[in-house]
Amino acid sequence: MSFLCKCLASNILKNNRTNISRRPFSTQPFPLVIYFQHFIVYSFSCCTFAPLNKPMRNVITVFLLFVCAGLFAQQHKTENVILVTFDGYRWQDLFTGADKNLVGEKKLVKDTAKLRGQYWAETPQERRTRLMPFFWGTIAKQGLLIGNRKLGSKMSLTNLYKFSFPGYNEIFTGHKDTRVNSNNYGDDLNKNIFDFLATQPGFEHKLAAIANWDAFPKIINSHRNGVPVFVNFKCASNGASCNGVAYDSWQTACPAGTNCAMVDTITYHFAKEYIHRNHPKFAFIGFDETDHYSHEGQYDSYLTTAHMMDAYMQDLWNMIQSDPEYKDKTTLIITCDHGRGHLGKQFWRHHGPLVRDAHQVWLAAIGPDTPAKGELSKGRHYHTNQIAATIAKLFGKEYKEDHASGKPIEVVYSGSSGQ
């Protein structure tokens, strides 16, 4: 199906970097309340030549508490956000581990005994921990996960296409646009979270994207906003390198799986090196292989990739928490651009407008403002169009562009001090 094809022409972009850091100030809310209460009470008293009575003072106190709570709520600890996507990775595999309908299917798995030995266990809790130990050993204990529909936690796309370009468009813009209906779509005209942050003080040259699909420069519209987008060994004219090896020279060092995407391992290691060296305030890392191996009908490779992604997220989080510029002030958000089918033994391979339940997605978050709620149950039905506003909110900003967008997902930053 043409809408599944990810092969597109790429763009080469400029890249500039500087190091600019910003520190939020902190305040003590209750002394402020008392100070302002005294100030207003005595100002009123002076103006009216009559002291305010007790009920009036109480009204003013409550009002000031709300004002100060609102001010204090904006003071998030997050100064950096790293957004990661696992393309087309299903919530079913994230929350329940290896699929019992697929793990022993010889048409989808080369060595079923080996795969069972690696990832099978009797309970979903054991299976998912074997498959993704960082998600269930660290994120579930220190952060939160949305989208386990077996517990009533729901997250969905709002776009009806259920494939990649519209999915990433929705993530970055906070908006579904029915015109964005092809993976061959051109430069996305809708402004996105990169455009928004690029206009904010302190974010100049502090945005970057490293991703495994050559459509991302168009999805992000780096022609418009100038954000460096590293895809498939492109965007290397500025001399970007990893461990001393020029980025574009890697192209011949490792065979690419397709002519529009490279292997996720290279994407990850370049992203890690770039982030470590340049400390972007907002970085996006887009992985592809979960989607690639699903379409190929290789469930063993799909699980192996998910397990590898989990290890990379562990490694990334370790780097974040050992880097003074990132430690305890960086939020990591991981999500996907669409779900996949789950009926029978073949539908997991597919997604798109005609595939039932492929709109079902998930989100994981860990960081200084994210409460340790683990996997959510019941509660609100969240949507992918809320991610852009959530990222802005973590920076203490209200996401506004020239189109409607979803509201921020409050639970992601509800662990901020004072709440």
Complex with Zn ion: residue 4 or 308, whichever CB lies closer = 4
Exposed, middle or buried, 67 (CB in 10 Å: 0-12/13-18/19+)? middle
Q: Which residue stretch of 119-127, 229-237, 291-299, 353-361 sits at the interface with Zn ion (rule: CB under 5 A)? A: 291-299
Distant-in-sequence, close-in-space partners of 37: CB < 8 Å, separation ≥ 6: 57, 60, 61, 64
Position 338: which residue type?
A: H
Cβ 338 to Zn ion shortest distance, Å: 7
Cβ 35 to Zn ion shortest distance, Å: 57
Cβ 340 to Zn ion shortest distance, Å: 8
Pairing of strands 363-366, 144-146: antiparallel
> What does the alpha-carbon distance between residue 371 and residue 173 come to, in Å, rounded to a whole number?
25
Cβ 308 to Zn ion shortest distance, Å: 18
| Under rule CB under 5 A, residue 291 binds Zn ion | yes
Complex with Zn ion: residue 296 or 325, whichever CB lies closer = 296
Question: For the window 131-170, what string marks contact with Zn ion as x by the rule CB under 5 A?
Answer: ----------------------------------------
> What does the alpha-carbon distance between residue 170 and residue 301 come to, in Å, rounded to a whole number?
28
Cβ 288 to Zn ion shortest distance, Å: 9
Q: Which residue stretch of 111-119, 209-217, 269-277, 284-292 sits at the interface with Zn ion (rule: CB under 5 A)? A: 284-292
Per-residue burial over 352-379, b = 16 or more CB atoms within 10 Å of its CB, e = otherwise: eeebebbbbbbbbbbbbbbbebebbeee
Residue 102's alpha-carbon distances to 27, 87, 108, 179, in angstroms, are 54, 19, 7, 36
Q: Which residue stretch of 42-50, 53-61, 187-195, 287-295 sits at the interface with Zn ion (rule: CB under 5 A)? A: 287-295
Question: For the window 243-282, what string marks contact with Zn ion as x by the rule CB under 5 A?
Answer: ----------------------------------------
**Structural Rg of the chain based on CA atoms:** 23
| Under rule CB under 5 A, residue 300 binds Zn ion | no
Nearest to 23 by CA among 281, 340, 208, 246: 281
| Under rule CB under 5 A, residue 337 binds Zn ion | no
Q: Could you tell me if 82 and 278 are in contact, meaning their C-beta atoms sit under 8 angstroms apart?
A: no
* Helix, strand or coil, per DSSP, at residue 103: coil
Binding site for Zn ion (CB under 5 A): 4, 291
